[in-house]
Chains A and B, each alone.
Chain A
Amino acid sequence: MHKPISALIRIQLKMQYANVFKKPSVVIGLIAGLFALLFLGLIFGGFMLQVIEAMYTLLEPSGNTNIILGTLFLMHFLIVFIFSLALIMNTFYFTEDITSFLHFPVQSFQLLVAKSLNPLLYVYLISAAAYLPVSIYYGLLSGAGAMYFLYALLLFLLIPLIPYSLAAVIVMFAMQFINKGKNKDRSKVIGGIVGFLLLILLNVVLRMQQDPEKIAQLLASSSEKGGLLQVATLYYPPAALMTNLLTFSASWQALLYFVAVLLTAFLATLLFYVAAQKFYLKGALGLNTGSGKIFSGKGVSQKQRSIIHAYRTKEIQTIFRTPTFFLQCVAGALVMPALLVVIFFMGDFSTAADLVKDIDGSMLFVVILATNIFSIGLNPISIVSFSKDGQSWEAHLFLPLRMRQIVLAKLQAAFLINLLPIIVLFLVAIPVLQMNVGEALLWLFLALLVNAAVTIVGMLSDLLYPKLGWTEETELFQNRLASLIALVISAGSMSFLIAFLFALKLQMLASLIVTVLYMCGLIALLLYIISRLLKSADRTTLTR
């Protein structure tokens, strides 16, 4: 390995993972995360395998089963490509440490190979979930020999490089123009939002048909017209090479196809190299510099604000001006309700309204409550309440601020930002579910109550497992036990309430009273625990 690359890789590994396995809490978080991934993989895998089996049965008589592989490679390309766009933007451009490496006498591609370690790890995890179960199951169904599985494994190692490299080339090409933009942070945010929109688009594509039989029939009819494999080949030619490689794995032709795939991956990597050398520095240099605008004096005179008002404004300004926080806590929160609608009611809103009409009063209450909990609970804003301050936390210790003021201002900021998904969901839900005024008001009231409780749960989780010593903001949203704890406490406390209401089947009004009492009790208890935690914590690190 080239010496600078190995040195850069070593330092990247040390910076990202050196302390990961030292803390038991992180190890527990990682294990829990892996289990969650496995669980999701099993659900997705189970569904996919049903599709594969149905398709295989349908396509076997005509001998067109290789359509399955063609589709697999095309879908794999799309999924990895879209995820790579977001990962690469974050790692290559948005992290705070990008300037730390720019003065070293290393080539751009060497730096980017080292920086690719972390995103590639995620890419291979996604690949493992999307590609391995289907390809292995296909091999078992077709009674393939050992060479099939060997080639399938080699493909697993090679194929993520193609979408990853192409995504990197596109990002690097685009970023050189974004860097010339007047408001760089805004450009970063727009880039991130495009990533989110692509995710929604992918979801729409995936949700177009969700019945395994229907998918199989659609694919079978396409194959009869000789359609889908050609489509796959047209939009992503390497899919045909990969399909042929596995289809003819037992013959000598396979070797030729393998060489062709190898060359394709090499070509993609070469493109990565060329783009890195030609475009990366143009996009990265000066990304963290000032706007060059001369301050006009506007806003120098400003009305005096209360401490809580000033602190709350500071919190909101920090969140809106930090691309990672903005994307995770604001853009993500706005996109999630839209994603929920796509996931549950894609293209068939009449079903949603019918669904609600069939629910009686007490159940409607439970449904509204559960939807609110789910939509608000997805926003990670309060889970980074304290941790997002990072080294600025020190300022809280020498400024004349009471902990009560800090907590209150942070809660208010998180509560206000959490109102965004509520508003979006509310605006979408009223026409979709055809709610009357009473139901809409009930929705809103419950949303505010749930927002308060979930926000406090997030803050509590952040205090239980704080992370002030981060080097880049993205670390706050990856592998954190606080996220898991927040999920467990929110889900646990809210499921208890929902189960209680579900079991008692109370009238709407009685349900409302029980919910209000329960939530107020919960909020008081959580605030008490937060105050105890703050008293017992080391004030410089917030750990105990």
Chain B
Amino acid sequence: MIQIDHVHKQYGNKIAVNDISLTVPSGKIFAFLGPNGAGKSTTIKMVTGILPVDTGSITINGKDIASDTIAAKQEFGYVPDSPDLFLRLNGLDYLHFIGDIYGIDRDVRTERIEQYAKMFSIYEALGDQIKTYSHGMRQKLFITGMLVQQPSVWILDEPMTGLDPKSSYQLKELMRQHAANGNTVFFSSHVLEVVEQLCDEVAIIRKGELLFQGTLPKMRERFQSDESLEHIFLELTQDA
């Protein structure tokens, strides 16, 4: 579970995130939506400990990211929006690096690397440097890294970007399965059809302010609309 409590973030005079409070419950797939520049990535970066919060607090499975940093970071796996990291390592080096950092033992790690790298069709390229991978392959490698780690909380920033239809389908299945096992899946996306078919709950952010948090039926009820999520989203964020 992720608990975001009155979090505020400001760059100079510009407010990026304004007093947001959000609960991402266990056993749910939770989508975080908003137009470009709305504050989604800033929020995710604060949740993952990349950016410090100005005021407020964030806990992951009850561990505070600011005061109990390492323990909180052990709880989640993160797939960044631009997977351009560790480009000089080869795919296998990266997966072993992740395995060592999270203390995944040899047999479990071997099994998971083989299972997920093959599932996402990157196994044959594991000997190549990440810099030679396409965007989609990098994305798949970082997802595989998270699956090798298998944390209870998944945080995914635009995870479908660059994925081929098969991989996209497999990731969605894995997300469903993970949530069904009582774990947390928190992801941001611009692909509203995916959100609509996949999510249990959504939160919509605009100009740093939280506009809505709840289930899709609740959203339709609140905005008195039978339209698609896309329509409601566009209505909500029209002057963004």
| Residues of A participating in the B interface, judged by any CB pair closer than 8 Å | 185, 288-291, 293-297, 299-307, 309-311, 313-314, 317-318, 321-322, 391-392, 394-395, 397-402, 539-540
Of the listed residues A313, A394, A399, the one surrounded by the most CB atoms of chain B closer than 10 A to its CB is A399
Q: Which B14-73 residues sit within 8 Å CB-CB of chain A?
A: 48-52, 69-71, 73
Q: Using A300-B114, A314-B89, A399-B73 as known contacts, list a sample of 4 further A-B pairs with CB atoms less than 8 Å apart, ordered by residue number in A.
A: A288-B131, A305-B100, A310-B101, A314-B93
Chain B 126-138, CB-CB to A under 8 Å as 1, else 0, gives 1111011100000
1/0 per position for B77-112, CB-CB distance to A under 8 A?
010100011111101110011011111111101100
Q: Is the interface of A mostly helix, strand, loop or mixed?
A: loop
Chain A CB within 8 A of B143 CB: no
Please report the C-alpha to C-alpha distance between residue A307 and residue B99 in the assembled complex, in whole angstroms.
10
Q: A388's closest neighbor in chain B, by CB?
A: B88
CB-nearest residue of chain B to A395 = B85
Q: Is the CB of A398 within 8 A of B78?
A: yes
Report if A392-B80 is in contact (Cβ < 8 Å); known contacts: A307-B101, A310-B96, A397-B48. no
Q: Are A400 and B110 in contact (CB under 8 A)?
A: no
Are B86 and A314 interface neighbours, CB within 8 A?
yes
**Is there contact, CB below 8 Å, between A540 and B96?**
no
Closest 4 CB pairs of A and B: A310-B100, A400-B73, A290-B132, A290-B128
Are A289 and B80 in contact, with the CB atoms below 8 A? no
Chain A, residue nearest B78 (CB)? A398
Q: Identify the closest chain B residue to A400 (Cβ).
A: B73
From the candidates A294, A304, A306, A400, name the one contacting B70 in the complex (CB within 8 A).
A400
Chain B: CB-nearest residue to A401 = B101
CB of B150 within 8 Å of the partner chain: no
Q: Which residues of B contact A (CB under 8 A)?
A: 48-52, 69-71, 73-74, 78, 80, 84-89, 91-93, 96-97, 99-107, 109-110, 113-114, 123-129, 131-133
Please, how many angstroms separate the alpha-carbon atoms of A402 and B74 in the complex? 12
Of the candidates A289, A291, A301, A392, which one forms a contact with B86 in the assembled complex, judged by CB atoms under 8 Å apart? A392
Q: Which chain B residues border A296 with CB–CB below 8 Å?
A: 127
Q: Is the CB–CB distance between A398 and B49 below 8 Å?
A: yes
Measured CB to CB, the closest approach of chain B to A37, in angstroms, equals 32
User: Bound state CA distance, A301 and B99, in angstroms?
Assistant: 11
- Which B residues are in CB contact (< 8 Å) with A288? 131-132
Tell me, rounded to whole Å, the shortest Cβ–Cβ distance linking A301 to chain B: 4
| Chain B neighbourhood of A318, CB < 8 A | 86, 88-89
**Assuming the A-B contacts A290-B132, A397-B49, A399-B73, are A317 and B124 also in contact, with contact meaning beta carbons closer than 8 angstroms in the complex?**
no
- Shortest distance in angstroms between B72's beta carbon and chain A's nearest beta carbon? 8
Q: Judge whether A540 and B50 touch: CB under 8 Å.
A: yes
Contact of A321 among B73, B84, B92, B129 (CB under 8 A): B129
Instruction: Please give me the residue from chain A that is nearest to B75 by CB atom.
Output: A400
Contact B100 A301 (CB under 8 A): no
Give the Cβ gap from B205 to chain A, nearest Cβ, in Å.
20
List residues of chain B with CB within 8 A of the CB of A391. Answer: 84-85
Q: B100, A294: Cβ atoms under 8 Å?
A: no
- Within the complex, the shortest CB–CB distance from A294 to chain B, in Å, comes to 5
Q: Decide: A307 near B52, CB < 8 A? Known: A300-B114, A392-B86.
A: no
What is the minimal beta-carbon distance from B15 to any residue of chain A, in angstroms?
18
Question: How close is A324's CB to chain B, nearest CB, in angstroms?
Answer: 11
Say whether B89 contacts A397, CB under 8 Å.
Answer: no
A-side contacts of B73, CB under 8 Å: 398-400
Whether A302 contacts B96 in the complex (CB less than 8 A), given A295-B126, A401-B101, comes out as: yes
Task: Tell me whether A289 and B87 are in contact (CB under 8 A).
Answer: no
Are A295 and B124 in contact, CB atoms less than 8 angstroms apart?
yes
Check B123 against A295 for contact (C-beta < 8 Å).
Answer: yes
Q: Determine the residue in chain A with the shortest Cβ distance to B108.
A: A304
B109 partner residues in chain A, CB cutoff 8 A: 302, 304
Cβ–Cβ < 8 Å partners of B91 in chain A: 295
User: Which residues from A are CB-within-8-Å of B70?
Assistant: 400-402
Cβ of B100 and Cβ of A295 under 8 Å apart?
no
B87 contacts A400, C-beta separation under 8 Å: no
19 pairs from A and B in contact (CB 8 Å cutoff): A290-B128, A291-B132, A293-B127, A293-B128, A295-B91, A295-B92, A295-B123, A295-B125, A295-B126, A299-B92, A300-B92, A301-B110, A304-B99, A304-B104, A310-B97, A321-B88, A398-B48, A400-B70, A402-B70
Interchain CA distance A318-B93 in the complex, whole Å? 11
Known contacts A305-B100, A401-B101; decide if A394 and B88 are in contact (CB<8 Å): no
A392, B52: Cβ atoms closer than 8 Å: no
Complex: how many Å from CA A60 to CA B114?
Answer: 80
Query: Shortest distance in angstroms between B149's beta carbon and chain A's nearest beta carbon?
Result: 10
Contact of A394 with B50 in the complex, beta carbons under 8 Å: yes
Minimum CB–CB distance from A525 to chain B (whole Å) comes to 27
Select which of A302, A309, A317, A539 is within 8 A of B52 by beta carbon. Answer: A539
Residues of A within 8 A of B114 (CB): 297, 300
Shortest Cβ gap from A417 to chain B (Å): 15
